[in-house]
Amino acid sequence: MENENKTWSEGLQQQTRDAISELGVFTPDGRLHFKNRGKGYAFAAVLDLYHGKLSLTDKETGEVVEFGNVDELLAAGWAID
């Protein structure tokens, strides 16, 4: 779907950028959780993000998708959950 990020509000897109860039966020399971209207749910390991690796693991299939930057992630329709 082209421009999938348009399905999320500007506010949610900014929250997604902030959550990824501000790694001081505490998560009990060491993960940031994401949603995508067409693809379901995924997570990114905070430790991976800390080391500069932006990848999401699909919660259902285990498939890993890597992104070059937050804009690519948003353009693919993902947002923080």
Three-state secondary structure readout of 13-67: HHHHHHHHHCCCCCCCCCEEEEEECCCEEEEEEHHHHHCCCEEEEECCCCCEEEE
In this predicted structure, the answer to whether residue 78 has a pLDDT above a threshold of 70 is yes
Using DSSP's 3-state secondary structure scheme, residue 2 falls into coil
Domain residue extents for the chain: 4-80
pTM equals: 0.86
The pair phi, psi for residue 57, each rounded to 5°, is: -110, 120
Confidence of residue 66 (pLDDT cuts 50, 70, 90): very high
* Listed residue (58, 80, 55, 57) closest to 69, CA to CA: 55
pLDDT digits (tens, 9 = 90+) for 4-60: 445 799 999 999 999 998 876 668 899 999 999 999 999 999 999 999 999 999 999
Q: Give the Cα separation of 37 and 43 in Å (integer).
A: 15
